[in-house]
Amino acid sequence: MNVLQTIVCDMGNVLVHFSHERMCAQIGALCGHTAGEIRTVLMDSGLNADFERGFLNPEDMHARLSRSVGHELDIHCLANAYADIFTLNEPMLPLLDALRNRGHRLVLLSNTSVWHFDFIWERFPILQRFDEFVVSYRVGAIKPEAAIFNAVVSVLNCPPEQAFYTDDIADYVRTGREHGLQAEIFTDASAMRGHLAARGIVV
């Protein structure tokens, strides 16, 4: 068995829980639209995916969404309505600390936007525990595309078979394995401890 050197974690529903429904409802409240209407213009249209790919900067996102809803949104209110959708997965904090204390490298691999990443960084004491950040808006690609997995392999500081990756989406876990990573679906911190223990990492 390869000795694990690096731990790769997804962010949403692993480090923090989130609600797209809350996001759409909060944006809708700014402009008199329902959550369903906002989901159509933001999520179903691909606008949010473009933002997460980094194809749009915050000013572009603000302009595009304002046009789509027929209302000139305040960019600061929009950013807060878009981003204030997270709660910390607190059991992950001691697990990450234990892994760091053992000398493991921690790498984040996430589909996310700059507004979401910055909000989590400022609000919760969890991202600061990581050594490297491979995020879609910087890479210009989203999971499960090869480009973002190639990017994470390039920063592991070890062969991919010596890295463990966890994500709540099965398709992304399969793609991680295709790129040589040891990978398991995330359900909760206790189950992750079990996946690591099976690989000789008891924390």
Residue pair 41/149 in contact by the 8 Å Cβ criterion: no
In order along its 203 residues, the chain shows pLDDT tens digits of 579 999 999 999 999 999 999 999 999 999 999 999 999 999 999 999 999 999 999 999 999 999 999 999 999 999 999 999 999 999 999 999 999 999 999 999 999 999 999 999 999 999 999 999 999 999 999 999 999 999 999 999 999 999 999 999 999 999 999 999 999 999 999 999 999 999 999 99
Residue 112, pLDDT score: 98
What b/e sequence results for 137-149 when a residue is b if at least 16 CB atoms lie within 10 Å of its CB, and e otherwise?
A: bebebbbbbeebb
The DSSP bridge pattern shows strands 16-18 and 6-9 to be: unpaired
Backbone φ/ψ region at 10: left (φ over 0), alpha (ψ -120 to 50), beta = beta
Residue 91, pLDDT score: 98
What b/e sequence results for 18-29 when a residue is b if at least 16 CB atoms lie within 10 Å of its CB, and e otherwise?
A: beeeebbbbbbe
Give me the amino acid identity at 183.
A
- Stated pTM of the model: 0.96
Residues ≥6 apart with Cβ < 8 Å to 37: 28, 69
Residue 1, pLDDT score: 54
Residue pair 62/11 in contact by the 8 Å Cβ criterion: no
Residue 2, pLDDT score: 74
Residues ≥6 apart with Cβ < 8 Å to 163: 4, 5, 6, 7, 8, 107, 156, 181, 182
d(CA 21, CA 4): 37
d(CA 7, CA 57): 30
Residue 113, pLDDT score: 98
Structure tokens at 35: 């959550």
pLDDT tens sequence across 92-138: 999 999 999 999 999 999 999 999 999 999 999 999 999 999 999 99
